[in-house]
Amino acid sequence: MYLIITNKDDDNRIDSYWDCFGGSFENKSFKVKPGLNIGQFNINNIKLLKNLHNLQYDNMYYIRPVIIINNNNNIKKVGHRFQSETQIDKIILGNRYCLYDPKTIIKFKLIINEYYIKRLCIYDNVMTLDWLVNNNSYLKCSKYQPIGDSSNIIYSVSISTYASIYGNPNVLECWLCSGLPLEYTELAIHNASIRGHINVLSWWKRSGLPLKYGVDALDYASNNGHIHVLEWWKQSGLELKYSENALESAAHNGYVNVLEWWEKSGLELKYHHTGILASFIKINQEDVFNWIKKLGLPLDYQ
C-alpha cells in the first residue's frame, strides 16, 4: 500500500527549483482531498506503508492511501542538475487519517519508533501516549530504534527533553505515572528555563525525582530575558547555580530589567575578575552602561 504524507494543513509541499546559479526556489503547496487530485505532487512524499517506520515524522500529521496513475505523461523530473525531484500530476487519494491517533495505529499497524514518541511529546498528545503505554505491544525498547526489535518499551531522554522544551508537563506526568523509566538529563530543566516554562519547572520540583541542572538554567534565563523564571528559581528554595554569563548575556542583549532584577535579588553579582566585558555590550546600549556605572561595577575594555 502507498500512502501520501501531509502536514497539519493537509498540504502536499513541493520545491520547484528554477535558478541553479542564484539558488532561488519557489515553494508550492497543494491542498489534497479524497478522490482524483490534479497538481504537482512530490513523489518523495509518497511512501510504502512498510517503510513508514524509517521516517522521523517531522512536520507530518496526516496520511492518505494513494493510487498512483502510472503513465509516462503523468510522471516528470523537475529542477536542475544540482537538485531535482520527481513529480506526479495525477493521484487518487483515500480518506485522511491522523498519524497520532490510536485508530490509525491499529488500522495501518504502524511501527512506533522514538521519533513518533517525540512528536507526541511536542504535540502534547497525552491521550495517544497513554494508549501506547497501556498497549505496549506497539512499543519497542531502544534508544537507537533497531529495526525489527519490537520486544519491549521505547523510552529515552528525548521524551523528557522535548516535553520540557515545548512546555508540556502533562506528558511528563503521563510517563511518570506509567511506571516506565523516565530517563532525563540536565537538558530537561535547562530547556524549561530557556523557554520560560515555569509550569514544567514546577512539575520537576514536585515530581520527587532527583533534579539535574547546572548553571545553564539561570544563565540562559537571563540571556533570554525571563525574569519570571529567575524569580521562580529564587523562590524555589533550590540551590541557585549560575555563572558570570548570567549578567554578561543580559547586558549583551540589553535587558536592563534583568540586570535590575539581579541588583534587587540580593544574590551575588558574578562577573569576570577583570570586569564585565565591554565587548559583550552593544555600542548603542547606553542604559546598560549607565546601570553598570551606577553600581560601580568594573568594565573590561580588552
In terms of CATH architecture, what is 111-213? Alpha Horseshoe (1.25)
Q: What does the chain come to in residues?
A: 302
Residue 273 clears pLDDT 80, i.e. is over it: no
Phi and psi at residue 103, to the nearest 5°: -65, -35
For residues 148-169, give the mean pLDDT: 74
- Model confidence at 158, pLDDT cuts 50, 70, 90, reads confident
Instruction: Tell me which of 211 and 51 has the higher pLDDT.
Output: 211
- Model confidence at 16, pLDDT cuts 50, 70, 90, reads very low
- Model confidence at 291, pLDDT cuts 50, 70, 90, reads confident
Residue 51 clears pLDDT 60, i.e. is over it: yes
Residue 145 clears pLDDT 60, i.e. is over it: no
For residues 208-236, give the mean pLDDT: 98
Joined together, the cell numbers standing for residue 76 give: 516528470
Residue 14 clears pLDDT 70, i.e. is over it: no
For residues 205-223, give the mean pLDDT: 97
* Residue located via cell numbers 527533553: 161
Q: Element (H or E) spanning 57, and its range?
A: none
Pairwise CA distance, residues 194 & 167, whole Å: 11
For residues 289-300, give the mean pLDDT: 76
What per-residue confidence (pLDDT) applies to 169?
97
- Model confidence at 231, pLDDT cuts 50, 70, 90, reads very high
Question: Which of 129-133, 246-250, 293-297 is least confident?
Answer: 293-297
Percent of the chain with pLDDT over 70: 73
- How far, in whole angstroms, is CA 38 from its chain's centroid? 34
Q: Are the C-beta atoms of residues 171 and 146 closer than 8 Å to each other?
A: no
For residues 269-274, give the mean pLDDT: 75
Residue 7 amino acid letter? N
CB neighbours of residue 98 within 10 Å: 14
- Domain map (residue ranges) of the chain: 2-98, 111-213
What per-residue confidence (pLDDT) applies to 150?
39
Residue 297 clears pLDDT 90, i.e. is over it: no
Residue 264: C-alpha distances to residues 36, 87, 98, 224, 231 (Å): 66, 62, 50, 19, 11
Chain segment 84-104, per-residue pLDDT in tens: 456 778 888 899 999 999 999
